[in-house]
Amino acid sequence: MDRARRFLPAIALAFLMALSVHGAMSAVTARRLAASAANLHAVVHKARAEAAEAKAIAEFGDRVIDLPEDGGGWHTSVFTHDPPTAAEQRLLGFFASDPQLAKLKQQTHFHHYTPQSSVYSRFANLTSAGLPAIVLQDASGQVVYKSSGAATPNAPWPLVKGVIECIRAHCPHCPRPKPQPAPPEPEPAPDVTPGPPNLIPDVVGPNQNTPSDARDDTVPVTIAVFLLALGAGFVAAARRDDRKLL
């Protein structure tokens, strides 16, 4: 009994150490589980965002930024810090990498303004909500589309979609440029490969296909006359010989 009592402190100490190790391991496991849950949540959020974007693209995939006839007088302005942040650099890159936004940039007067631009102060009403800001104005200066601050799209497609919808809402009946007719398809090249020649048979005189009234009968008639004359000569000579004998 005394011997067992002597071991009780050691047993208690070992038990406490085991509990400490278990608690430390449980804390590590809990942190790992929390990190895994956060990663899983991020993956699910990203997948949902990509699915929503794919759905929007499927719905609006056949629609393009269609400016009215006076679209050449419209203005596209992008306002950023100086120098632009990484997100603003990416936003400016959309107008080069995305075909729709690149076309919008080419068809309108494109401007990039920063607080260092001499005319920046004129646009306080457009930049008051924060930077970056994207503004599309028609030829009269009226704002057709505007997004700024946290509302600025961080991907090309939401920006394209917003511009398309705002243009059509702003000017649903504006005349659009008439599509140019497609150039006619070129005529197929003539086949110049030489084929077999049309052989013409020799024609050196009348044949069975020559009409009877077109035949030349003078040769046989001449021969017949010659033979008759020759025969008459022989007959006459024979008669003369008979007379001499008499």
Identify the pLDDT of residue 41: 72
Structure tokens belonging to residue 218 = 């003078």
Mean pLDDT for 124-140 is 94
Annotate 178-239 with DSSP letters as a single string: PPPPPPPPPPPPP--------------S--TTS-GGGS--HHHHHHHHHHHHHHHHHHHHHH
The per-type count for the chain, helices as H runs and strands as E runs, is 6, 4
Identify the pLDDT of residue 155: 93
pLDDT digits (tens, 9 = 90+) for 39-82: 777 777 677 766 665 565 555 444 567 788 878 899 999 999 99
Structure tokens belonging to residue 31 = 């942190």
Q: What is the CA radius of gyration of the chain?
A: 53
State the distance between the two ends of the chain, measured CA to CA, in whole angstroms: 201
The verdict on whether omega for the bond into residue 156 sits within 30 degrees of 0, i.e. cis, is no
Identify the pLDDT of residue 47: 73
Identify the pLDDT of residue 65: 79
- C-alpha 94/C-alpha 50 separation (Å) is 18
- C-alpha 170/C-alpha 36 separation (Å) is 47
Highest mean pLDDT among 63-72, 146-155, 169-178: 146-155
Highest mean pLDDT among 78-92, 161-175, 191-205: 78-92
157 versus 217: which is more confidently predicted?
Answer: 157
CB 152 within 8 A of CB 146: no
Sequence-separated (6 or more) residues with CB below 8 Å from residue 64 = 100, 103, 164
Q: Where are the domains of the chain?
A: 16-62, 69-170
- Which CATH superfamily groups domain 69-170? Glutaredoxin (3.40.30.10)
Among 135-149, 154-168, 213-227, whose mean pLDDT is lowest?
213-227
Q: Is the pTM of this model over 0.85?
A: no
Q: Taking the CA atoms of 94, 97, 103 and 106 in sequence, report the sign of the dihedral they define.
A: positive
- C-alpha 158/C-alpha 56 separation (Å) is 8
3-class secondary structure, 132: coil
pLDDT band at 173 (very low <50, low <70, confident <90, very high): confident
